[in-house]
Amino acid sequence: MQRSDDESSSAPRVSVVVATNRGGPFLAEALASVAAQSLPVAELVVVDDGSPDPDALEAIVSEVPRARLVRIAASGVSAARNHGVAATSGEVLGFLDDDDRWHPERVERAVAAMLARPDAVVSYCGMRTVDADGAELVAADQRPATDEAAVVRGPGVMLPNLMVRRAAFDAVGGFDPAYRQGEDLDLVLRAAALGPFTFVPETLVDYRYHATNTTRSYRDLAMSIRTILRRHRASALDASRADVVEAYDERLRANDRFAWWSAARAARAALREHRPGAARSDLGWAVGFAPRGPWWWLRARLVRR
């Protein structure tokens, strides 16, 4: 897509923050995907959140144009991203994890969507799941969100595929350091109360699923999501937002289904590895966490049919 000089000069400046505490085998590719954008970003800040090998991390970052390294003591991903934002000046903020990657037109499409919809506080796009080698595992399934309740139900907005206006990020107070998982969900839900989201339907982000994903800690993730959803549901209830409360109830049931799906998957893996005790532990946790999870799963299947 060709851009005129006028369009380029009117586009908001985009700042990108990558927080990492490990570097890892995918960081160079993640940063290179930011540097290769068809609409160049104004700045790329990599926050070293207390990594054990800062010299190796610095060597990777030094090879990337516009990349700047900031070191802090280990503080957790939310605090690290907030620190990175404070070191930037762009009107639009993007975030990328150290193992994901963007397609070349990801920034350009997001900025165009925001220019077309000046009241939108967040832009998000299609995002697929890939394996460690970059091969597609799950195709993109994101969908438009027409209002706050639709955002709550979950149109597929996550950290790597969202861009947020700095004014909105500042208005909600950034990432909540209390959360080390699900912090992007909390940010999305708070931003949804400020204004509409705009959706770019193209698949422009690769979310990488591999052996060291933090989201593989499914028990902690399910608990964090439940805590976040219940907190926001209480606020919607206090505000007498019946439609939003109903959306939170649906999302909580979906989280229970996720907990059971994850536990069953872990149990099957444990059985293949001849660890029956671990399998019992996974299923026992699911029973305690979401005793009605199988019913919600069956109900969802019947509704879809």
Between CA 161 and CA 25 the distance in angstroms is 21
Q: How far apart are CA 233 and CA 219, in angstroms?
A: 21
Give the per-residue pLDDT at 1.
43
- Which CATH code for domain 5-214? 3.90.550.10
Model confidence, pTM: 0.90
Tell me how crowded residue 301 is: count the other CB atoms within 10 A of its CB: 10
- Are 184 and 224 in contact by the 8 Å Cβ rule? The answer is no
For 110-148, the three-class secondary structure string (H helix, E strand, C coil) is HHHHHHHCCCCCEEEEEEEEECCCCCEEECCCCCCCCCH
70 has which bridge partners?
47
pLDDT of residue 11: 83
Which pLDDT score is estimated for 230?
98
Q: What is the pLDDT of residue 217?
A: 86
Per-residue pLDDT of the chain (305 residues; tens, 9 = 90+): 445 445 455 789 999 999 999 877 899 999 999 999 999 999 999 999 999 999 999 999 999 988 999 999 999 999 999 999 999 999 999 999 999 999 999 999 999 999 999 999 999 999 999 999 999 999 999 999 999 999 999 999 999 999 999 999 999 999 999 998 999 999 999 999 999 999 999 999 999 987 666 556 899 999 999 999 999 999 999 999 999 999 999 999 999 999 999 999 999 999 999 999 999 999 999 999 999 888 877 777 676 66
Q: Report which of 118, 116, 213, 119 is spatially closest to residue 160, judged by C-alpha positions.
A: 213
pLDDT of residue 2: 45
pLDDT score recorded for residue 151: 97
